[in-house]
């Protein structure tokens, strides 16, 4: 079982790529019932000249027949979903079409004995012409619905392709930015402290390796490890002026996050809140998960004479905001606010996790790294 970007559970591997809806789901079943009833009303309306004296009895019988055909078709397609998914789309569509049309013919043929059993056959009878008419109408309606499902899946596939391309484009704008800054840091250390420059190169190589693998969502551990490498590089440049405090509340190991989300935010906090200040400054990162939403809060001091780069800061924030919304929808948020002393960045996004161990293993790793760096 997998989850898509909107946290909807996918019951079959590759099921989101199949053109037929999952008729085993209650939502799809409800839609079938509503569409079947609307179809029954349409069929009855097509056979009356005026609305006065509306044939409610005919509507009841037509609804009964249509609902049986639709519900049994849905149940069969639910059971056949897995084998149909292994077939080419055209073959699966043809078989699904034949199943529904065969059920239309079967239930139309069974309507006559059913009416006799209900002792109303002398009011309504089913002839061979009626069965043929029902089969033809069923074939037309089923063909139109299959075509709709197929076109809908093509549209979803195009949207997924466009989303992937958009995410890759957004990601590619972030990656060169912090790698370029890291190279500048190393260049400034080469003549001042070659040993630190060598250690910074090692951190950069780890960071570069992680960033090359960073596509789509990554585990929170991987994102935090990448951030720690970046913080180590900045510590070489800023020394004791930079202090980073990590606080983990309830952060399960399964929590995931779009790659290269935290690192640009920490970079902004250091660039605007630490670098312009001569005194020691603390950047605090707090992570929490309440069972529905992941929450990340980053605070940094407000520098009195901060370097003016609001445009670049807005671009980075907009980039991250767009990637969060592309992955998690409109409920994903990235907000910032500041008072006279503290600037705060808040990231939140919905995430549904399967029950599992909630040990914040990443916090242990970062605490050990901080002690070693100290």
Q: Are 287 and 247 in contact (CB under 8 A)?
A: yes
Per-residue model confidence (pLDDT) at position 280: 92
Residue 218 pairs with which residues in a beta bridge? 257
Per-residue model confidence (pLDDT) at position 11: 40
Q: Are 279 and 241 in contact (CB under 8 A)?
A: yes
Question: Which of the pair, 310 or 341, is modelled with greater confidence?
Answer: 341
Per-residue model confidence (pLDDT) at position 20: 82
Per-residue model confidence (pLDDT) at position 359: 44
Q: pLDDT tier at 343 (50, 70, 90 boundaries)?
A: very high
Least confident of 56-70, 93-107, 158-172: 158-172
For residue range 139-198, list pLDDT tens digits in order.
998 889 888 888 888 887 777 766 666 656 655 555 565 667 677 777 877 888 788 788
Structure tokens at 299: 């605070």
- Is the pLDDT reported for residue 288 higher than 90? yes
Give the SS3 label for residue 251: coil
Mean pLDDT for the chain overall: 77
- Map out the domains of the chain with their CATH numbers: 2-126 (no CATH), 163-373 (3.30.565.10)
34 vs 38: CA distance, rounded Å: 6
Structure tokens at 81: 């979903």
Question: Which of the pair, 307 or 345, is modelled with greater confidence?
Answer: 345
Q: CA-CA distances (angstroms) from residue 289 to 248, 266, 318? A: 9, 20, 23
Question: Which of the pair, 88 or 315, is modelled with greater confidence?
Answer: 88
126 vs 34: CA distance, rounded Å: 25
pTM above 0.75, yes or no: no
Per-residue model confidence (pLDDT) at position 10: 36
For residue range 215-246, list pLDDT tens digits in order.
678 888 888 988 888 888 888 778 889 999 99
């Amino acid at each position: 079982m997998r989850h898509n970007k909107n946290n909807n559970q996918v019951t079959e591997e590759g099921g989101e790529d199949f053109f037929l809806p999952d008729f085993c789901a209650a939502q799809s079943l409800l839609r079938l019932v509503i569409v079947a009833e609307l179809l029954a009303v349409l069929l009855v309306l097509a056979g009356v000249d005026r609305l006065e004296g509306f044939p409610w009895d005919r509507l009841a019988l037509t609804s009964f027949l249509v609902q049986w055909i639709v519900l049994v078709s849905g149940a069969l397609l639910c059971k056949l979903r897995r084998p149909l998914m292994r077939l080419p789309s055209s073959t699966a569509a043809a078989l699904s079409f034949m199943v529904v049309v065969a059920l239309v013919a079967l239930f139309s043929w069974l309507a006559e004995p059913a009416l006799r059993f209900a002792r109303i056959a002398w009011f309504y009878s089913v002839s061979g012409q009626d069965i043929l008419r029902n089969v033809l109408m069923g074939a037309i309606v089923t063909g139109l619905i299959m075509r709709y499902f197929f076109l809908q899946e093509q549209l979803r596939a195009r949207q997924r392709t466009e989303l992937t391309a958009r995410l890759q484009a957004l990601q590619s704008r972030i990656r060169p930015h912090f790698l370029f800054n890291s190279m500048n840091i190393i260049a400034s250390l080469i003549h001042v402290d070659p040993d630190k420059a060598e250690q910074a190169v090692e951190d950069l190589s780890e960071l570069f390796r992680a960033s090359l693998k960073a596509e789509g969502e990554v585990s929170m551990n991987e994102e935090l490890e990448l951030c720690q490498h970046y913080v180590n590089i900045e510590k070489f440049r800023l020394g004791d002026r930079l202090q980073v405090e990590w606080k983990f509340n309830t952060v399960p190991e399964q929590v995931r996050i779009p790659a290269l989300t935290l690192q640009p935010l920490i970079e902004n906090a250091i660039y605007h809140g630490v670098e312009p200040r001569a005194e020691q400054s603390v950047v605090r990162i707090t992570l929490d998960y309440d069972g529905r939403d992941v929450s990340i809060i980053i605070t940094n001091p407000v520098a009195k004479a901060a370097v003016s780069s609001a445009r670049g800061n807005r671009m980075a924030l907009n980039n991250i905001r767009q990637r969060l919304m592309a992955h998690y929808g409109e409920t994903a948020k990235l907000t910032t606010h500041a008072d006279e002393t503290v600037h705060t960045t808040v990231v939140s996004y919905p995430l549904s996790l399967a029950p599992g161990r909630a040990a914040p293993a990443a916090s242990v790793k970062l605490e050990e790294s901080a002690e070693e760096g100290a």
